[in-house]
Amino acid sequence: LWVDAVCINQAHLTEKTEQVRQMAQVYASASRVIVWLGPSYDDSGYVMDVIAAESVSEYTTPRFMAAVLSMLACPWFTRTWIVQEIVLPRTTPLLACGFNPSITWRAS
């Protein structure tokens, strides 16, 4: 288990630089990547449920579109590293918002 916010000492520039160099390999070799978008907000559970259920008919509803816009305002989407977190893993990353004790996955 590797958590960038925990495993990289942000106050130690040398360590941070070395860890950043290794991040591409970490994401590319991970059996599963979980992206935590931050604390939940009013409709985050709704967005996650609709996406998980692949309820395509909901995708164009005003509620869903407003909820997605709120989700896109999460600080995670402003970070530079999100490209490698999404592109490099062997499997599609699992997105999580808030605390969900039922997040499970099977390692390959």
Per-residue pLDDT tens digits for 31-83: 889 888 888 888 888 888 888 888 889 999 999 999 999 888 888 888 887 88
Give burial (CB, 10 Å; 0-12/13-18/19+) of 67.
buried
In the chain, where the domains are located: 4-96
For residues 102 and 99, give the distance between their C-alpha atoms in angstroms, rounded to a whole number. Answer: 9
pTM given for the model: 0.70
| Residue 15 amino acid letter | E
DSSP 76-100: GGG-TTHHHHHHSSSSPPEEE-S--
Going by C-alpha positions, the residue among 34, 37, 36, 51 that lies closest to residue 89 is 34
